[in-house]
Structure 1
Amino acid sequence: MSEPVRDVPITGEPIRLGQFLKLAGLAEDGSHAKDLLDAEEVTVNGELETRRGRQLSDGDVVAVGHERGRVTLVS
């Protein structure tokens, strides 16, 4: 069973996937984010994603294993 989706506030759109993985605590650092993407362990909105530079927008859900974070735009 998956963990509940955790809202991760960002102040500006868009944000790159690699940056979001670090911000959400789904990756320890940029190298770990790259490793997760290379190992095909990251999904965005339920679809496999391997591009660290993918642009995310408000409401996108990123998952690594059972952990999930939702991009939440705040002003």
Structure 2
Amino acid sequence: MDEIEIQDGSIRLGQFLKLASLIDTGADAKMVISDGLVSVNGEVETRRGAQLTAGDVVEIGGISVRVGAP
């Protein structure tokens, strides 16, 4: 599983998807999140602004990425 470090203590889900190169644009993030295609720590997450912190695991399309501490 890949790990992507964040600079601050938390990051919004939509921003993390872009940072991790799991999607290309904010519009793509909005679409996949609202369609229920993204899970955080095994639970479907439908809020683009959901706050992620170090250790959280984001999954989309069978790809999992862990939020890393700076």
TM-score category of the 2 structures, normalised to the smaller one: over 0.9
Paired residue total: 70
User: Could you tell me which amino acid in structure 2 is paired with residue 12 of structure 1?
Assistant: D
Larger radius of gyration: 1
The aligned counterpart of 1:63 is 59
Q: Is 2:15 the partner of 1:25?
A: no
Aligned partners of 1:41 and 1:59: how far apart in 2? 20
Runs of 4+ with deviation above 3 angstroms: none
Q: Normalising by the residue count of structure 1, what TM-score does the alignment of the two structures yield?
A: 0.89
User: Could you tell me which amino acid in structure 1 is paired with residue 6 of structure 2?
Assistant: I
Aligned partners of 2:65 and 2:16: how far apart in 1? 9
Q: Aligned-pair distance for 1:8?
A: 0.5
- Structure 1's unaligned 5+ residue stretches are none
Task: Give the percent of matched residue pairs that are identical in Structure 1 and Structure 2.
Answer: 49
Tell me the C-alpha RMSD between the 2 structures: 0.7
The aligned counterpart of 2:41 is 45
